[in-house]
């Protein structure tokens, strides 16, 4: 199938590359010339495990191309995927400007080229309920009602860090459409990806739009619930790890997404929770539970920072603090709404000197802080002369460090673990002062013989 992707960011690039991998002819459009140039030149623009290899293979085989030329891509395609940003507006609602602007351009293109054949415009961006009607109206404004198009809502559920795996083997595909013709076409396109038994779930456009927000808000709710519970465990001397095991083994609850930490970040959960809240308020059907989800999430990083302040009795000036992890989660270079920024801002405000390390996301920190902080070339490099280590992202390479080396490098063996990476008891035995989330903090004592 000839496919156009409009917006070649995290979702668009993964979608384009994976569709090419299954034999489709794909043209990825972006209005950022730097992105198009880099991708044409053979370099991927984002870090995502497994992406580079299939990108290179499909580029070599000529199944994928990158272009700034929207009209050519649209006219040549049977299916046009909109993978455009929907950032939060001032009131929290999703900003539809990019989606509707491209819909308007598509309408103009089709008006200039009547008879260019049946096209399905597929909205993959996360958009508020009712957007597919708006997209269709924006296109049809320029062409007659008879224009041979359908607009479909096809929300994307890929997880950054597992995006390629998720796209190539989705647990489900949601197609929001009432057009049999469009449904058949999309089923045809996705057939090559779905493992046996994993469904294409067909529904109306509005239900599909709500499904995406409902999924992300539910995941955010699990995280905030566990964070709230972890703080309760902190207060009463219980262990959130044990509680997690205890509840996660109940199949009605399940054991995924039950890890307390610094709260969710990234380009999806924070903005999607707020956008759904906003839509619900507008519909006079407020989803009150989500207000707490959002509040707990914002509080969580503050609570964690207070542990650092408390340990140093509010005197951080002149201390050297190492930070492991910038990305909002492991296996991505994405720093959008990353919790680390709150921690770094506070440390700088307290006049601590900060040195950071992340395997992939250093550019995100450099763009924001420039020379206000230091950048280490390795995790151990960040520890030299440090008064404390703060763990913000649970990259695998942080999980089994050489603790002896850490202690020789650091001036004080103090660790604030925002992701509960280590065992508190073992950290105590290793001679660290160790603070984590929802588990008892441990002062160091001499290493046992």
| Structure-token match 């950290």, residue found | 427
> Is residue 16 at the binding interface for ligand NAD, with CB under 6 A as the rule?
no
> Is residue 279 at the binding interface for ligand NAD, with CB under 6 A as the rule?
no
Give the interface segment with ligand NAD, choosing from 98-106, 144-152, 195-203, 253-261 (CB under 6 A): 98-106
Is-contact 433 443, C-beta < 8 A? yes
Is-contact 58 17, C-beta < 8 A? yes
- The residues facing 152 across adjacent strands are 122
Give the interface segment with ligand NAD, choosing from 25-33, 234-242, 309-317, 387-395 (CB under 6 A): 25-33
Out of 12, 261, 330, 339, which residue is the one contacting ligand NAD (CB under 6 A)? Answer: 12
Query: What are the phi and psi torsion angles at 277 (to 5°)?
Result: -55, -45
Give the interface segment with ligand NAD, choosing from 4-12, 132-140, 373-381, 400-408 (CB under 6 A): 4-12
Is-contact 216 423, C-beta < 8 A? no
> Is residue 153 at the binding interface for ligand NAD, with CB under 6 A as the rule?
no
Q: Toward ligand NAD, which CB reaches closer, 80 or 415? A: 80
Query: What are the phi and psi torsion angles at 124 (to 5°)?
Result: -105, -15
Q: x/- string (CB under 6 A) for ligand NAD, residues 103-142?
A: ----------------------xx----------------
Q: Toward ligand NAD, which CB reaches closer, 214 or 247? A: 214
CA distance 231 to 245: 17
Q: Work out how close the CB of 36 gets to ligand NAD at its nearest, in angstroms, rounded to a whole number.
A: 9
Is-contact 11 19, C-beta < 8 A? no
DSSP character at residue 118: -
CA distance 65 to 77: 13
- The residues facing 80 across adjacent strands are 4, 121
Q: What residue number has its CB nearest to ligand NAD?
A: 9
> Is residue 84 at the binding interface for ligand NAD, with CB under 6 A as the rule?
yes
Q: Toward ligand NAD, which CB reaches closer, 32 or 408? A: 32
Q: Toward ligand NAD, which CB reaches closer, 98 or 380? A: 98
> Is residue 101 at the binding interface for ligand NAD, with CB under 6 A as the rule?
yes
CA distance 173 to 175: 6
Give the interface segment with ligand NAD, choosing from 30-38, 309-317, 381-389, 400-408 (CB under 6 A): 30-38
Give the interface segment with ligand NAD, choosing from 47-55, 97-105, 312-320, 360-368 (CB under 6 A): 97-105
Known catalytic membership, residue 268: yes
Out of 4, 5, 9, 436, which residue is the one contacting ligand NAD (CB under 6 A)? Answer: 9
Q: Toward ligand NAD, which CB reaches closer, 6 or 293? A: 6
Does an H or E element contain 323, and which? strand 320-324
Count of Cβ atoms closer than 10 Å to residue 39 Cβ: 23
According to CB under 6 A, which residues from 340 to 399 bind ligand NAD?
Answer: none
> Is residue 28 at the binding interface for ligand NAD, with CB under 6 A as the rule?
no
The candidate with the shortest Cα–Cα distance to 240, out of 354, 319, 248, 165, is: 248
> Is residue 83 at the binding interface for ligand NAD, with CB under 6 A as the rule?
yes
CA distance 341 to 327: 10
Q: How far is CA 6 from CA 10, 11, 16, 203, 236, in A?
A: 12, 10, 10, 24, 52
Q: Work out how close the CB of 10 gets to ligand NAD at its nearest, in angstroms, rounded to a whole number.
A: 4
In sign, the C-alpha dihedral spanning 404, 405, 408, 412 is: negative
Interface contacts to ligand NAD, rule CB under 6 A: 6-12, 29-32, 35, 83-86, 98, 101-102, 125-126, 156, 158, 160, 267-268
| Positions marked catalytic | 268
């Amino acid at each position: 199938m000839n496919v156009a992707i409009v917006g070649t960011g995290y979702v668009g690039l993964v979608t384009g590359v994976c569709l090419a991998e299954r034999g489709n002819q794909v043209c990825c459009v972006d209005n950022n010339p730097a992105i198009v140039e880099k991708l044409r030149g053979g370099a991927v623009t984002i870090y995502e495990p497994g992406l580079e290899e299939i990108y290179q293979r499909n580029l070599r085989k000529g199944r994928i191309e990158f272009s700034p030329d929207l009209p050519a891509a649209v006219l040549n395609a049977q299916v046009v995927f909109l993978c455009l940003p929907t950032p939060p507006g001032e009131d929290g609602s999703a900003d539809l400007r990019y989606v509707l602007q491209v819909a308007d351009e598509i309408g103009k293109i089709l008006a200039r080229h009547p008879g260019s054949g049946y096209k399905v415009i597929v909205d993959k961006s996360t958009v508020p309920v009712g957007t597919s009607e708006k997209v269709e109206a924006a296109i049809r404004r320029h062409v007659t009602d008879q224009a041979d198009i359908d607009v479909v809502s096809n929300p994307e559920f890929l997880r950054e860090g597992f995006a390629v795996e998720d796209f190539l083997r989705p647990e489900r595909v949601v197609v929001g459409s009432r057009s049999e013709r469009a449904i058949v076409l999309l089923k045809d396109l996705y057939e090559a990806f779905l493992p046996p038994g994993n469904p294409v779930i067909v529904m109306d456009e509005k239900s599909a739009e709500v499904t995406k927000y409902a999924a992300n808000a539910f995941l955010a709710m699990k995280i905030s619930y566990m964070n709230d519970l972890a703080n309760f465990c902190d207060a009463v001397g219980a262990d959130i790890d044990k509680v997690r095991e205890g509840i996660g083994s109940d199949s009605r609850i399940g054991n995924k997404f039950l890890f307390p930490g610094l709260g969710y970040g990234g380009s999806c959960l924070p903005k999607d929770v707020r956008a759904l809240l906003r839509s619900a308020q507008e519909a006079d059907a407020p989803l009150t539970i989500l207000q707490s989800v959002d509040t707990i999430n914002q509080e969580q990083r503050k609570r964690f920072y207070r542990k650092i302040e408390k340990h140093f009795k509010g005197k951080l000036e002149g201390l050297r603090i190492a930070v492991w992890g910038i990305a909002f989660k492991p296996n991505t270079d994405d720093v959008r709404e990353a919790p680390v920024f709150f921690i770094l801002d506070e440390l700088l405000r307290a006049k601590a000197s900060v040195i950071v390390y992340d395997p992939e996301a250093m550019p995100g920190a450099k763009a924001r802080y420039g020379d206000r902080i230091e950048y280490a070339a390795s995790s151990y490099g960040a520890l030299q002369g440090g008064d404390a280590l703060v763990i913000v992202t649970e990259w695998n390479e942080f999980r089994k460090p050489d603790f002896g080396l850490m202690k020789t490098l650091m001036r004080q063996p103090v660790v604030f673990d925002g992701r509960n990476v280590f065992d508190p008891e073992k950290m105590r035995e290793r001679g660290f002062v160790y603070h984590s989330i929802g588990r008892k903090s441990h002062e160091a004592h001499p290493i046992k013989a």
